[in-house]
Amino acid sequence: MLIALQGAVSQGVLWGIMVLGVFITFRLLDIPDMTCDGSFALGGCVCAVLIVNNNVDPLLAVLAGMCAGAIAGAVTGILTTVFEIPAILAGILTQISLWSINLRIMGKSNTPILAKGTIFSSVSNMTGLPQSTVAIILGIVLAVAIVAILYWFFGTEIGSALRATGNNEYMIRALGVNTNTTKMIALVLSNALIGLSGALICQSQKYADIGMGTGAIVIGLAAIVIGEVLGRLLPGGLTQFSVRLASAVFGSVVYFLIRAIVLQLGMDANDMKLLSAVIVAVALCVPVVWERYKLRSSYTKGDEADA
């Protein structure tokens, strides 16, 4: 059980980087970017092929996976901004295309890297720590660094314009901001993080698979919503942007812990998609029910005061 929970934490932190990418488009840009599933697998496929076929350094392979994800995001951005295809449809088109592209890149549906070194094995050899522990430590360090960089970036003029585009596109356009540019930046940045996460997961599990990104968008949404529900329990709630970013990563860890516990209790692995959908639905319903409860309570108190 403890080993399963440790694995869930390491997976949760590494997938948390992907969740940050989904957070940028879903929460800041208000676009459910369907490119996610394809760009996640793309990052893993590029990373695996470079390591296995070209003996590229694992760190450079991770960076290549991140760049591949950014290119996928740029394609979706071009379809959305230049050709004015609706964002959700543009993401679906890119995602479908990436399935064939990923097969072309690997030449097969699965590429194992068991005999090759990874970032985690290299650090494990240097420190003597188990690779599962190294994955948790490196994942936390990377997640903290990315949260800090994103917090700084979204405080800049460009980052603020990007956030404003999601809040009120017409207003920010009236102020002279090119919203097509901010959308493109958001999609590229988002999918770069998703590709980075895919490359890290590939090295963590020691293989890349054509279907490794299937359901990534659902996992991302579930983690975001779980993190927001838990973040509202903090004294300051979600008023601080840094808390919103951190809660996305924390939500990912909680999501994978829930999955691990449920699997340990005997749930069929084939039912995990159903569990993910239920988690998202419940997490989305809780804030609505809570707001209605508070509103009804305030009405009740007002009626009692009038009486």
Per-residue pLDDT reduced to its tens digit, 188-197 = 999 999 999 9
pLDDT score at 181: 95
Read off the pLDDT band of 305 (50, 70, 90): low
Mean of the pLDDT values across residues 291-302? Answer: 77
Domain membership of residue 93 as a residue range: 2-306
Q: Which of 122-131, 138-147, 225-234 has the lowest mean pLDDT?
A: 225-234
Mean of the pLDDT values across residues 77-83? Answer: 96
Number of domains in the chain: 1
Dihedrals phi, psi of 41, to nearest 5 degrees? -65, -35
pLDDT score at 251: 94
Mean of the pLDDT values across residues 195-204? Answer: 97
Q: What is the mean pLDDT of the chain?
A: 91
Mean of the pLDDT values across residues 107-126? Answer: 93
Q: What is the CATH number of the domain that holds 27?
A: 1.10.3470
Whole-model pTM: value is 0.93
pLDDT score at 304: 57
Nearest to 227 by CA among 197, 255, 194, 205: 255
pLDDT score at 123: 94
